[in-house]
Amino acid sequence: MTDLADRRDAETEVYQPAEDSHLLADAAVTDLRNTSTETPPTDDASLALEVGTGSGYVAETVADETGLRVLGSDLNPHACRQARERGVEAVRADLLDPFRDDAFDAVLFNPPYLPTDPDDERDDWMEVALSGGEDGRKVIEPFLEAVGRALAPDGAVYLLVSSLTGVEEVVALAEREGFSAVALRDESFPFETLTVLKLLR
């Protein structure tokens, strides 16, 4: 009975794979494969992190398709449990807080980006997974401020951004933190265009 209740919680309180998840996973896998052929292999295993892993779909896909060891982190305990059920090493964390400096060769993030009324309370995990604050960048900004610390010197960030959030505004925030940005892939939908940005220092 408890297992059934846990499964129901995961379905209703964990963001499930959708178009944005598939776009981020596909763009990151393609780029990481291309990058690995340009870079000579080292003795150290490459380590990646998916921030806000949700169901663990992106982390699992990137690990399976590239051979990287991919950790997942999420503030939502239901998400951590569901990601672990997929075989993802998942830890409960707020963005990059618990991770050491220069730890990751790649960091992936599909952030909460829907612009939302600041007076609306975030009273359930699904709202936390979707709500990006008034301009859609409430979570993106602190992520960009923090990610450089945990990223290895030659590492890359793969960040999904919506036109609802403002791609140019996000690029400007990234540049302020010392990153250059290139758009790897765009996909248009009736109400938004999704872009995967690759950020490098």
pLDDT digits (tens, 9 = 90+) for 45-97: 689 999 999 999 999 999 999 999 999 999 999 999 999 999 999 999 999 99
Structure tokens at 137: 């960048």
Q: How far apart are CA 144 and CA 175, in angstroms?
A: 10
Domain CATH code at residue 146: 3.40.50.150
61 membership: H or E segment, kind and range: helix 57-66
What's the pLDDT tens digit per position in 8-28?
Answer: 455 578 989 999 999 999 999
pTM: 0.88
DSSP E strands: which ranges in the chain?
47-51, 69-74, 89-92, 104-109, 151-162, 180-189, 192-200
What percent of the chain lies above the pLDDT cut of 70?
84
**Number of structural domains, the chain?**
1
Range of the domain at 51: 2-200
